[in-house]
Structure 1
Amino acid sequence: MGIGISVFFLALGGILAFAVHDGIAGVDLTAVGYILMGAGAIGLVVALVFANQRAHTSHVSVQERRNIQE
């Protein structure tokens, strides 16, 4: 899950948890909102950790030369 999807889940979860006062039979929209916000927060932390690891790596390029003699 990328940073954009995580932020989307955070926003959608916040809307469902705090702004929607209507209901669907058998579904607690507040709980669904909190679950989406939790998933978004975990996804955001994981995405930022991976991005930080990727930024601090070094790459070495090795070129091999062959002498071709006729």
Structure 2
Amino acid sequence: MGMGLTIVLIAVGAILSLAVDWDISGVNLDVVGLILMAVGFIGLASYVSIFRRRRMQPPSPAAPVVEETHRHEWHA
């Protein structure tokens, strides 16, 4: 589920629950809208989480390893 689809789900859910006053027997459009918005928000959160993990790259194996040298202090 991409970011565009999640935003569409949120928008359609908001329209169904807030702007539509149709009466369909057996279907509560407010609940359907809330469910679509919840699915959209969950999908958006998971997409952003996965996208953030993909962007973070581990250091390449060819990167030089920096070792800390030990300094000894001489006391006179």
1:14 alignment counterpart: 14
The C-alpha deviation readout for 1:11-44, integer Å capped at 9, x for no partner, is 0000000000112110000000000000000000
Runs of 5+ consecutive residues of structure 1 not aligned to the other structure? 63-70
Q: TM-score, normalised by structure 2?
A: 0.75
Deviation, structure 1 residue 6: 0.4
Please state if 1:29 is matched with 2:29: yes
Question: Of the two, which has the highest radius of gyration?
Answer: 2
AA matched with 2:20: V
Determine the C-alpha separation between the residues in 2 that align with 1:39 and 1:25. 24
Deviation, structure 1 residue 59: 6.9
Hey, which bits of structure 1, 4+ residues long, moved more than 2 A?
A: 58-62
Aligned residues: 62
In percent, how many aligned pairs have the same letter?
37
2:68 alignment counterpart: none
Please state if 1:4 is matched with 2:9: no
Q: TM-score, normalised by structure 1?
A: 0.81
Question: Could you say which structure has the higher helix fraction?
Answer: 1
Runs of 5+ consecutive residues of structure 2 not aligned to the other structure? 63-76
* SS in structure 1 of the partner of residue 26 of structure 2: coil
